[in-house]
Amino acid sequence: MDRFDTIRIFVRVAEARSFTKAAEQLGVPRSTVSTAVQALESRVGQHLLHRTTRIVSLTADGEAFLQRCTRLLSDLEETENLFRRTGSLSGRLRVTVPSRIGHLVIVPALPVFLDRNPGLSIELRSTDRRQDLVEDDIDCAIRVGDVNDEHLIYRSLGRLVIVNCASPGYLKKFGTPRRPSDLERHRVVGFIAGSATVPEPWTYVQRGETISLDLTYAMATDNANDYIAAAIAGLGVIQVPAFDVKTHLARRQLVEVLPAARAEPMPVALVYPRRRHLSQRLQAFVEWVTPILSSKLALAA
């Protein structure tokens, strides 16, 4: 095993915070990972990792060494690609996105990106639950909502416009709410976001202030497709990003209600693990996907 292989193993252990996870991601035995890190520590003459039965963390020397190593590996990759022809990027990119953004925006546009970069492969994880980018070995993610993670680089794309809507059948049966307080007499469908265990509160903006309503939900789900399907089926009123229901509104499967009581637009961002340098393939993906997201998501200023 050469020095670069040893450094790659150390970086993967540091990012995954686990010898076992690093071994799984690299497809090698755990003993190989442990031996490589021990050899590296012996070579540099410093302990780089704190080891416990539950988690692995970096020492102060390990933090400094990791920064140098990530820069070194990035420079090595760029050097190896220096004389390759344009468009010859290769390797795999793991990307995680909210399910509706994956279905409506990313997947339909991917053929263009892969035609430009035939050597690349995309592993797309469409889920409405947030994944740990480092532990799950994810290259980048599209996140809706606030991002508070010092380990991630955050590239803001804008804010998603949120609308309230219900099916014509529901409105015919139960009437149209005219003010937010009317929702106390209506059926509402709840959405359970991320790692939450209860539905998000219903909110709207009034004179610059965000107001929350404590409502009883007819049903709740953690899946965006089911959330919209519930509204179309007449189960109740929902709050949802406008891009999600653009087609349904145009086809009159859903009707916007309470247009003056919309929720605060939600921030949407592209995030990736904090590194000094990005791989060329990740840079290519970020540059390609950013304008697509900005144009397709009905973003507010």
**Structural domains of the chain, ranges and CATH numbers in brackets:** 3-80 (1.10.10.10), 91-156+268-300 (3.40.190.10), 162-264 (3.40.190.290)
195 or 40: whose pLDDT is higher? 40
SS3 21: helix
**Mean pLDDT over residues 187-203, rounded?**
86
Tokens of 3: 């020095």
What does each C-alpha distance from 186 to 165, 238, 255, 263 come to in angstroms? 12, 11, 15, 18
Q: pTM for the full model?
A: 0.69
Going by pLDDT thresholds of 50, 70 and 90, the confidence category of residue 275 is low
Q: Answer yes or no: is pLDDT of 145 > 90.
A: no
Q: Answer yes or no: is pLDDT of 83 > 70.
A: no
Going by pLDDT thresholds of 50, 70 and 90, the confidence category of residue 193 is confident
**Mean pLDDT over residues 118-138, rounded?**
83
What per-residue confidence (pLDDT) applies to 108? 94
Q: Answer yes or no: is pLDDT of 85 > 60.
A: no
Q: Which of 117-121, 166-170, 235-239 has the lowest mean pLDDT?
A: 117-121
**Mean pLDDT over residues 216-239, rounded?**
93
**CA 56/CA 53 separation, integer angstroms:** 8
- Average confidence score pLDDT of the chain: 87
Q: Which position has the token pair 């090698």?
A: 28
